[in-house]
Amino acid sequence: MPQVTFETSPTDEPIRSTGTEIRSLPPTHDFADKAITSTYDRDVDVTCNIAGKLPNRVFTMRVSTILAVMCRAEVSGESRELPFLCRKFFMARQAFLQDRLTIEDGKMCLSLSDGRLYTEGGNNYGQCGVGSTTATSGPRWVRLPPVVEAWYCIHGTFALTSHGLVAHTAGDGEGDSLHAWGNNWCGKLGVGLIQESVTRPRRVVLPGAVRDVRVLGFMTLFRVDDDDWLGCGFNQESQIGVPHDPIDTDYKAQPVPTRIPGSAGVTRWEHHAGSTFAWTPNGLLMCGNNGQRQSGCGSTDNDTIKTLTPVILPERVRVDRVVATGSMTFFFDHRRCFACGDNMYGQLGLALPDRSVFTPRELPFPVDAIATVGWTTLFLTNGAILCCGANPHRALPRRPPTVLDPLPLSLPGSATRVVLERTRVFVQRGDGGWFGRGESHPRVFRRKWLVGNRWCRVTEAKAARLSEQDDDRLIKLTPTC
């Protein structure tokens, strides 16, 4: 069987356990809750080898059979003491609990044992695969052929099974089969349905053996044998890279995996604010939202880029990171930063009066980190914070409502974290205290009146929320800044 990987991030840290490899992968998009990968080892010893301790029939019983009996007893309430019947039952139960992966803050559990997938917990979209949307109180066996891998993200579950049928262009043949169930908003599971919930496993029909699966928000991408990618799900702005029929009333949904033109050779995908970016050996491609001309493709009159199109960058630039909002995009090559899109308030940091920048232009200073909200941007460069953009509440230096040329932001003492909000800037000092400036509010600042450009201590409740901040609005600093 070919090697199959399920990913939502270019990096992962495996957590190994007996007979099962479980990798917990961070989501790649704001919509994603949690993603996991489980790999079943077919060579695991399923007899537990307790010679002379049990009757022959119990000794030779497969672990999967024991688990099925125990799960059935727990669900029916007939017996909660079955795991203590004998040593083998107890060991099987302990291994089952040890290999179980809890996701969605404890609301959902997945277990893969001897080729059988068990689910329990939250089931509001049918992600447990048991035929209903009622939460399950105990582990339920999802009835599938032997499961090789299982993967979960955004209330949806995928399972790769062996000895199934997979559709080929030349006919059906024996091989691996991909199944999916759960949240199916806009057909993102690829099972050919548009209904929001799919409560039982359905086969994802692909024109070849699946090699890779990526979930980007409410769209899913599949790589097959011939190295091409297919996409399904939310496609209102052609962010899948598949043009839709403008007269189709359901154009935003793409329920059937469809081949993406020009996707052969793509090694990495990212999705930001309606735009999709694809990395290839020959450069960066994008498709999707271009309403503020932020695609970087040089298009001046198209609100959407319907197929994968090269981003216009200098020849030797190799993009390693993209920061994108609904109106502007920043492309990084290490510390070199190129910006394009809406520049009405100078928020791109280019010190240009142009309202829009159609092709990426390089910033005149190196950038280590960036935080952007609305029409305001903060840059971390060589340990200092530069700010530019809209300034209606004087959260940035000086009085003008617009800061076109990036200005240094003086910080109150030794700072470790800077958080940007639409009308305020917050800084955490090395001693843990939080200060802010900008629009005043009694639930935010301890002062009752306008704060303006003076740093003031924030309330304890706001400080607690700021301490938990961990997204694109945050810049982390060393205490020497």
Whose CA is closest to 325, among 467, 471, 215? 471
Mean pLDDT, the chain, whole residue set = 76
> Tokens standing for 147?
């499961």
> Tokens standing for 257?
């995996």
Higher pLDDT, 94 or 316: 316
pLDDT-above-70 percentage for the chain: 74
Q: Quote the Cα angle for 32-38-42, to 5°.
A: 160
- In angstroms, the CA 478 to CA 481 distance is 6
Decide: helix, strand or coil at residue 75: helix
pLDDT digit string, tens, across residues 139-157: 888 888 888 888 887 788 8
pLDDT at 11: 29
- Say which range, 219-223, 324-328, 350-354, has the weakest mean pLDDT: 350-354
How would DSSP label each residue in 277-298? EEEETTEEEEEEE-TTS-SSS-
- What letter does residue 358 receive in the DSSP assignment? E
pLDDT at 43: 39
Polymer length in residues for the chain: 481
> Tokens standing for 183?
């949240």
Which distant-in-sequence residues (6+ apart) come within 8 Å of 399 by Cβ?
A: none
Q: Is the pLDDT of residue 418 over 50?
A: yes
Domains of the chain: which residue ranges?
A: 5-264, 268-364, 376-476
pLDDT at 40: 38
Q: Which residue has the tokens 């769209």?
A: 219
pLDDT at 311: 95
Hey, which of 24-38, 57-71, 280-294 has the most confident mean pLDDT?
Answer: 280-294
pLDDT digit string, tens, across residues 54-85: 555 555 667 777 777 777 666 544 455 666 66
pLDDT at 439: 80
pLDDT at 53: 53
Q: Among positive and negative, which fits the CA dihedral 412, 418, 419, 420? A: positive
Q: What is the mean pLDDT of the segment spanning 37-53?
A: 43
Whose CA is closest to 264, among 243, 277, 281? 281
pLDDT digit string, tens, across residues 83-123: 666 777 777 777 777 667 777 655 778 888 777 888 888 88
pLDDT digit string, tens, across residues 393-405: 778 877 778 888 8
- Say which range, 321-330, 435-444, 459-468, has the weakest mean pLDDT: 435-444
- In angstroms, the CA 292 to CA 342 distance is 6
- Sorting pLDDT into bands at 50, 70 and 90, what band is 314? very high
Q: What is the mean pLDDT of the segment spanning 202-220?
A: 86
pLDDT at 469: 74
Q: Is the pLDDT of residue 257 over 90?
A: yes
pLDDT at 13: 28
Instruction: Note whether 307 and 286 are within 8 A (CB).
Output: no
pLDDT digit string, tens, across residues 166-189: 332 223 334 568 899 999 988 999
Q: What is the mean pLDDT of the segment spanning 272-283?
A: 92
- Sorting pLDDT into bands at 50, 70 and 90, what band is 36? very low
Q: Is the pLDDT of residue 206 over 80?
A: yes
Which distant-in-sequence residues (6+ apart) come within 8 Å of 164 by Cβ?
A: 145, 175, 176, 177, 203
